[in-house]
Structure 1
Amino acid sequence: MDDLMKGANRTHVLVIADDFTGANDVGMMLVRQGFETSIHLSLDGVLPTLSGATQQALVVNTDSRSVTSQMAHARIEQVMHQFNQLQQPFWLYKKIDSTLRGNIGIEIEAILRHSELPMAIVAPAFPDGGRLTQNGECWVGERRLTDTEFASDPKTPVNSSRISDILSEQTHLSYWEITLNGSLDDTTAVLEKARQAGIQTVIVDIKNNEQLQHLGRAIRQLSFKPLCVGSAGLSQYLFTPDQDVSRVQPMLAVVGSMSQIACEQIDLAAARKPVQVVTIDVSELFEKPWAALVDYYSQQITAAYQRHHHIVLHTMTPATNRELIEQFCQRKQLTRHQLGTQISAFLAQLVSYQVKQQIFSGLYLSGGDTALAVTQALYASHFHLQGDIAGFVPWGYLPDSSHPNLLIMTKSGAFGLPDTLLQVIEFIEEKTRE
């Protein structure tokens, strides 16, 4: 055991999950970080011994989310009894539901009672799934947890959005609630102070992936090993200090369409992924020099790129109301065709400038006129098709263009499902990790 705890080149992890799909969610995050990962489907039999591999993870499903508190405690006690006979993993992770369903307090308390870990750090947020915590409360998108369907779950209802309320209903554990407003060292100092004060649980507000990453780094700096409690979100930033999985190369999306479905696709993607929407005010294209506008929007794109956010360029009419476009065209003495051509031409100029400045993982072009204008600005004469995403989005390369290795995706503006852009981003993120 001492050899394992002191081994700088080994990272062993035991994850205790309360349902099978949750076990798989965390397991997949570990696989992506290079862990040899196995899922123990039930409590029958003896836990397998962790091997001597550099990074080894064992995920145990206690199937205890909807059982009685007494049964949940007994199952955790069983796992911990077997766990204490194994080589001690470097990390112990309690996977909980991001919407706080189940016996989360009972199980946290049981693990602390049957281990030598002094404190639990609780961060259930999963920003990629729209699950955030602020002021100690769980939010799903723009709504408090108790205002969502999860509150009336038939098997595991939730009667409070506040994490501390749920813990207090199930346990007598002391707690602090903290936000991550300071530096990395500040966060580490607060966690160290909580331990010194004898606090048993620290509940952490998380609004985005950057804060999850910040928390993971602070935990790795601690002078002690805590019990880490979270959804799949925290697990992706916690265990491997040398690998930064948040550094997915950003994608640049250009949505020239103002259709309702295009707007829905952007809204859903922005709720689930780190996405910065840069809105192009169409009226400015006829009032200001394009060079100045390219510089203005490029600053916004660069700022988002440096934060490792995917960028979506979206056009906005002067009144954001499609019915008023005709009035705008009349004032500017333009036909609708001329308006569309000008918008596409500006987007093409902005994009061609950007791909010279940044290395994007891909270029997503929504709207036929926009797609053609951008590809022409890249001096392409043909599109080498490779496949499709979600059945609606062809992807490939422009082999004779100025950027032959840039992955290109195209889609009709008013086509697809609400999650089409989200699926495109997930496709790009997987391609980046290959």
Structure 2
Amino acid sequence: MPKCIVIADDLTGANATGVLLKKMNYSAYTVLNAERLELSMLEQCDCVLYPTDSRGIDQDLAYRRVSNVCNLLKNEDTKVYGKRIDSTLRGNLGAEVDAMLESLGEDYVAIVVACFPTSSRIVLGGYMLVEGLPLHKTDIAIDPKTPVNNPEVAELFRKQSKYPIASILMKDLLHGKHYLADCMKKLAEEGNRIIVVDCVSQEDIDLIADAVETSKLKVLAVDPGVFTASLVRKRIPPTEKKEKNKVLAVVGSVNPHTRLQLEELWLSQRCKNVFVETKALLEGEEQWEQEVQRVVDAILQDVDKDRVFTVTGDGIYPENRVDLGKLAESRACQIEEISNKMNLAFAEIAHRICEREKSFKGIYSSGGDVTVSICKRFKTAGLSLEEEVLPLAAHGEMLLGDFPGMHMVTKGGSQGGRDAIIRCISFLKEKLFV
């Protein structure tokens, strides 16, 4: 049975949430017709999304639709329940959340994170802002079917729900997940069944999800999809792919954006990472060889356990960075000579891994110098460019050389948002697995 059940008030919202989950390697089904639904169809599915088409209808009818679906789908194996709401708070918010809370039981609490940062929907001070404007000053206020004239999130729920409602503001998020978890537990103990939380960024969403896990509360996630996806990521291991093709990410960039992107990748899905100790690469030929082989062996010893592997320079963390200028001065050589030695190590690691394990069919590389070194070491004549993955990230296949046809995605270290590496890796996985 599915481990995640999301009930949405419309089809497009259900699909939008399902796509977020699919990007993180979860199988997701949108179910449209309860009368034709056979629960056996869902046995191999991680996440089920059910749209009730209830945004613009009477509150009582919306309540009954959501209640019926929740009673049909809920089961003891489910780890995440979600109520997908409109990103601009249209519809029967309180009535539909009430329906799920009553279906799930009195020990459940609804955590409302009505935030979609990449679409410029945030909640600050309890108020929703859309592209910097309070909700009631946007076109949503004159929506012909479901207008919203109040930007205060808790108040919109309060007008419809029969349950006590409380808010957690940005100042509470500043104290970290344990403090936030204590706030949630305290508000729940006071009898609040719906808790609205401020949120302006993906970092906030992840923090709230961490606090939920720390609190041990039974939670109904209420949001436009991002918070639900974050909670799923923390609670449910994604289904393993049957295909054996693997992806190797080689990252030598020390750009701060790269660190954030890698941490997002490591959090979002199963993968094996091995850090390259860059200082060891510069201590002599013997140490260089030992470090290269150590990383290769560390990857290959777990090669059957994962599909995605990352080789990362430890210089992404400032305390590990080498001052190339000072080192070059002390050795009376050029910075380029030292940099080339490091880049060659990353290329050699990648080559040895691909040489010994033929299931690696895709490479992601970040940082121009590392990418050039990999192409040289692989003796490729060039790349047959195929398509743009995202701005400043390209996909191609190696021409000739030691691994002809090897899929490769290259990206500059500073390019893209927090999900840039996830998107590049997902692109490669789709090329190799579909």
Give the aligned partner of residue 137 of structure 1: 127
Give the aligned partner of residue 285 of structure 2: none
In structure 2, the residue corresponding to 1:114 is in which secondary structure? helix
Give yes or no for the alignment of 1:206 onto 2:205: no
1:158 Cα offset (Å): 1.3
1:163 Cα offset (Å): 0.6
Give yes or no for the alignment of 1:100 onto 2:96: no
Give yes or no for the alignment of 1:49 onto 2:42: no
Give yes or no for the alignment of 1:146 onto 2:136: yes
Give the aligned partner of residue 396 of structure 1: 396
For residues 20-39 of structure 1, the aligned pairs below 5 Å read 20-39=11-30
Give yes or no for the alignment of 1:12 onto 2:3: yes
1:394 Cα offset (Å): 5.8
Distance across 2 between alignment mates of 1:391 and 1:90: 33
Distance across 2 between alignment mates of 1:354 and 1:206: 40
1:428 Cα offset (Å): 2.1
In structure 1, the residue corresponding to 2:424 is in which secondary structure? helix
The amino acid across from 1:431 in the alignment is F
Distance across 1 between alignment mates of 2:19 and 2:29: 10
**Which runs of 5 or more residues in structure 1 are unaligned?**
1-9, 253-296, 310-348, 366-370, 412-419
Give the aligned partner of residue 168 of structure 1: 158
**Which runs of 5 or more residues in structure 2 are unaligned?**
239-246, 266-337, 351-362
1:196 Cα offset (Å): 0.9
Give the aligned partner of residue 192 of structure 1: 185
Distance across 1 between alignment mates of 2:40 and 2:187: 31
Give the aligned partner of residue 426 of structure 2: 430
Give yes or no for the alignment of 1:157 onto 2:147: yes
In structure 1, the residue corresponding to 2:104 is in which secondary structure? coil
1:115 Cα offset (Å): 3.0
Distance across 2 between alignment mates of 1:298 and 1:81: 50
2:346·2:374 contact (CA, 8 Å) conserved in 1? no
1:217 Cα offset (Å): 2.8
Distance across 2 between alignment mates of 1:423 and 1:91: 23
Deviations, residues 304-340 of structure 1 (Å, cap 9, x unaligned) = 556659xxxxxxxxxxxxxxxxxxxxxxxxxxxxxxx
Distance across 1 between alignment mates of 2:236 and 2:67: 33
Give the aligned partner of residue 113 of structure 2: 123
1:390 Cα offset (Å): 7.9
Alignment: residue pair count: 328
Rate the CA distance shift 1:307–1:399 in 2: closer, same or farther, 3 A. same
1:125·1:131 contact (CA, 8 Å) conserved in 2? yes
Give the aligned partner of residue 99 of structure 2: 110
Deviations, residues 386-414 of structure 1 (Å, cap 9, x unaligned) = 3122899864368799xx98956699xxx
Q: Structure 2 length normalisation: TM-score?
A: 0.59
Rate the CA distance shift 1:176–1:354 in 2: closer, same or farther, 3 A. farther
In structure 1, the residue corresponding to 2:387 is in which secondary structure? strand
Give the aligned partner of residue 383 of structure 2: 384
In structure 2, the residue corresponding to 1:195 is in which secondary structure? helix
For residues 7-406 of structure 1, the aligned pairs below 5 Å read 12-43=3-34, 45=35, 47-49=37-39, 53=43, 56-83=46-73, 89-117=78-106, 118-178=108-168, 179=170, 180-240=173-233, 241=235, 300=256, 304=260, 308=264, 361-362=364-365, 383-389=382-388, 395-396=395-396
1:390·1:423 contact (CA, 8 Å) conserved in 2? no
Distance across 1 between alignment mates of 2:11 and 2:66: 15
2:261·2:420 contact (CA, 8 Å) conserved in 1? no
Rate the CA distance shift 1:35–1:174 in 2: closer, same or farther, 3 A. same
Distance across 2 between alignment mates of 1:181 and 1:250: 34
Distance across 2 between alignment mates of 1:220 and 1:391: 33
1:364 Cα offset (Å): 9.1
Rate the CA distance shift 1:49–1:243 in 2: closer, same or farther, 3 A. closer
Distance across 2 between alignment mates of 1:211 and 1:400: 46
1:50 Cα offset (Å): 6.0
In structure 2, the residue corresponding to 1:93 is in which secondary structure? strand
Rate the CA distance shift 1:238–1:11 in 2: closer, same or farther, 3 A. farther
Q: Structure 1 length normalisation: TM-score?
A: 0.59
Distance across 2 between alignment mates of 1:122 and 1:382: 53
1:59 Cα offset (Å): 1.8
Give the aligned partner of residue 270 of structure 1: none
1:207 Cα offset (Å): 1.8
1:298·1:354 contact (CA, 8 Å) conserved in 2? no
Distance across 2 between alignment mates of 1:97 and 1:352: 53
The amino acid across from 1:207 in the alignment is V
Rate the CA distance shift 1:395–1:161 in 2: closer, same or farther, 3 A. same
Deviations, residues 287-308 of structure 1 (Å, cap 9, x unaligned) = xxxxxxxxxx966556655665
Deviations, residues 37-56 of structure 1 (Å, cap 9, x unaligned) = 3322145x165336795764
Deviations, residues 28-80 of structure 1 (Å, cap 9, x unaligned) = 3334445443322145x165336795764322111001112232122123224
Deviations, residues 330-356 of structure 1 (Å, cap 9, x unaligned) = xxxxxxxxxxxxxxxxxxx99999998
1:135 Cα offset (Å): 1.5
Give the aligned partner of residue 353 of structure 2: none
Cα RMSD for the two superposed structures = 4.8
